[in-house]
């Protein structure tokens, strides 16, 4: 049985809060700490703080563009079939 909407929303909120906190510490606070701090061992290299979101954005925009392209092609085919049906 699936989760209720309230439980699912709470889980999504907690996940988003965790990701936001982790990324904020990684990208904004970690550069201010000394290199020999033990906190640096718990995070990937700082270069990934830029590369990872850029890659996610690229994949997301590509997926959205592909979806919109498929919808536009299907609509064009429907319109073409509709016009062919009217003229016949």
Please give the residue range of the domain that contains residue 56: 44-87
Q: Do 62 and 36 sit in the same domain of this protein?
A: no
pLDDT band, residue 62 (cuts 50/70/90): very high
Q: Do 27 and 51 sit in the same domain of this protein?
A: no
pTM over 0.75: no
Number of domain units in the chain:
2
Q: Do 24 and 50 sit in the same domain of this protein?
A: no
The string over 33-44, giving b where at least 16 C-beta atoms fall within 10 Å of a residue's C-beta and e elsewhere, is eeeeeeeeeeee
- At 20-47, the pLDDT tens digits run 999 999 999 999 999 998 889 989 998 9
35: phi then psi, degrees, rounded to nearest 5:
-60, -35
> Both tokens of residue 67?
């979806």
Q: Do 3 and 25 sit in the same domain of this protein?
A: yes
């Amino acid at each position: 049985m699936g989760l209720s909407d309230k439980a699912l929303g709470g889980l999504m909120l907690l996940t988003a809060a965790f990701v936001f906190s982790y990324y904020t510490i990684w990208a904004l606070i970690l550069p201010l700490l000394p290199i020999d701090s033990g906190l640096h061992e718990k995070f990937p290299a700082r270069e990934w703080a830029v590369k990872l979101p850029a890659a996610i954005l690229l994949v997301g925009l590509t997926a959205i563009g592909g979806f919109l392209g498929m919808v536009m092609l299907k609509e064009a085919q429907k319109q073409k079939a509709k016009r062919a049906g009217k003229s016949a």
